[in-house]
């Protein structure tokens, strides 16, 4: 549904305004319905509905104007045509720009809590920045879908039409097992499966990544120092000793 407000004017807190609504099913624009409402402050006093094909009054003033306007075939024809001239073109633009948009989710699989002291581990699978809203996130253990010990959030509005969702799996780790998160979304040609690698805990992976970065930085600094030394050596003038 699209809508447009038109303020006719106001004085000392009294306002008269119109609201135009285009109501439709995006899959079938032939059912497009135009509704024009006239309001005074917070009360709607007259309405035109393209499906009904005439004005309907809700107050004494509204009924009087509705009777008068319904006798004018020109006024009825104008507002009936607005449905085709305004509502349908704007709906087509909205459907093309928004409803047919597809954005792939960014999926992350992380360890929320390791298994310690006899307590189960907790994995978290998160999908970010996807559109449209409908998405399916499931857990698989050794090729079989897991239905128990799973807690998932609803699709959460991210702003700017995008969504995010989070799913948690509690489990007791077993040697040689395969645990994966599977995401199905309209933007994906095939389901996206991300498998958890239990061979190295996440903190250890982070330590290695930091250590590798430090090693590379050290090599760069060493190379820069060596180049500086060689450059200074070439420019030095040797004076013989007497």
pLDDT at 223: 54
Residue matched to tokens 């099913």? 25
Cβ count near 171 (within 10 Å):
19
Q: Is the dihedral of CA 115, 119, 120, 121 positive or negative?
A: negative
Q: pLDDT at position 54, please?
A: 95
pTM metric for this prediction = 0.49
pLDDT at 166: 96
Stretch(es) of the chain classified as CATH 2.60.40.10: 106-202
Q: Kindly provide the residue ranges of all beta strands, DSSP E only, lying in 58-161, ordered along the sequence.
A: 106-113, 121-130, 135-141, 144-146, 150-152, 156-159
> What class is the 2-99 domain?
alpha beta
Which residues belong to CATH 3.10.320.10 in the chain? 2-99
| pLDDT attached to residue 216 | 45
Q: Which residues of the chain have pLDDT under 50?
A: 204-216, 235-242
Q: In the CATH hierarchy, which fold is given to the domain comprising 106-202?
A: Immunoglobulin-like (2.60.40)
Inter-axis angle of helices 73-82 and 60-70, to 10 degrees?
Answer: 100
Please provide the size of the chain in residues: 242
pLDDT in the model for residue 28:
83
Beta-bridge partners for 57:
46
For residues 77 and 53, what is the distance between their CA atoms, to the nearest angstrom? 9
Please report the pLDDT score of residue 13 as a whole number. Answer: 66
What pLDDT is stored for residue 206 in this prediction?
43
């Amino acid at each position: 549904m699209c809508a447009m407000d038109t303020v006719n004017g106001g004085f000392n807190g009294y306002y008269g305004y119109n609201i135009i609504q285009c109501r439709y099913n995006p899959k079938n624009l032939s059912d497009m319905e135009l509704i024009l409402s006239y309001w005074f402050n917070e009360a709607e006093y007259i309405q035109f509905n393209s499906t009904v094909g005439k004005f309907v009054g809700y107050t004494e003033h509204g009924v009087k104007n509705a009777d008068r306007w319904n006798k004018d075939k020109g006024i009825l024809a104008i507002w009936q045509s607005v449905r085709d001239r305004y509502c349908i073109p704007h709906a087509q633009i909205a459907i093309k720009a928004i409803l047919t948009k597809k954005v792939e989710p960014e999926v992350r699989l992380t360890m929320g809590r390791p298994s310690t002291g006899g307590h189960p581990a907790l994995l978290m699978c998160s999908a970010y920045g996807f559109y449209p809203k409908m998405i399916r996130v499931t857990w698989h253990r050794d090729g079989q879908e897991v239905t128990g010990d799973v807690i998932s959030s609803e699709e959460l509005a991210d702003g700017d039409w995008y969504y995010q969702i989070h799913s948690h799996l509690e489990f007791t780790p077993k040697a040689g097992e395969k645990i994966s998160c599977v995401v199905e979304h309209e933007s994906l040609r095939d389901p996206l499966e991300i498998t958890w690698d239990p061979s190295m805990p996440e903190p250890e992976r982070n330590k290695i990544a930091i250590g590798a970065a430090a090693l590379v930085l050290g090599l760069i600094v060493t190379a820069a120092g060596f180049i500086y030394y060689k450059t200074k050596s070439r420019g030095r003038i040797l004076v013989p000793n007497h």
